[in-house]
Amino acid sequence: MVIEDTPRLALAQLKALTFWPRIREAGWVRVRLELDGVDVSARIEIQFDRTPFGARAWLKCPICGSRRVHLYLKENGLGCRGCLRGLYFEQALAASHWKHEIAVPALRAFRRCPRADSSQPATNAA
């Protein structure tokens, strides 16, 4: 599962809601999301850390209980990246042969090309 392509619930989305003060006071929120026609409902706990400038909010993962800024949506519900075994694109790319067969050679060829802003004069092959 590539994280960049996965629907997610972000703490910033909750803070933007007009009823954020009530969520903050209650310490939890019930979310209902839809993925491919399947409704997923979960109770998400909000935890706070005291800081010198107020408080820092966290979403508590319903699976492992860790504090996160994002929770991701999968068929079996909401969870953190670790619980859902999500990878960032670069991590997934590193595990594939595509990186070594296409991406790295292309990058090396690109780096060998002279750039327009370089001090080397361009050679015209006529």
Encode pLDDT of 15-50 as tens digits: 888 888 888 888 888 887 777 777 778 888 888 888
Asked if the model's pLDDT at residue 123 lies above 60, the reply is no
Residue 95 pLDDT > 70, yes or no? no
108 found inside a domain: no
Q: Is pTM, for the whole model, over 0.75?
A: no
Asked if the structure places residue 54 within a domain, the reply is: yes
Domains identified in the chain, total number:
1
Domain range for 15 is 3-79
List the end-to-end C-alpha distance of the chain, in Å, as a whole number.
Answer: 50
Helix (H, G, I), strand (E, B) or coil at 126: coil
Of the candidates 15, 39, 38, 6, the one whose C-alpha atom is nearest the C-alpha of residue 29 is: 15
Strands 38-51 and 70-74: unpaired
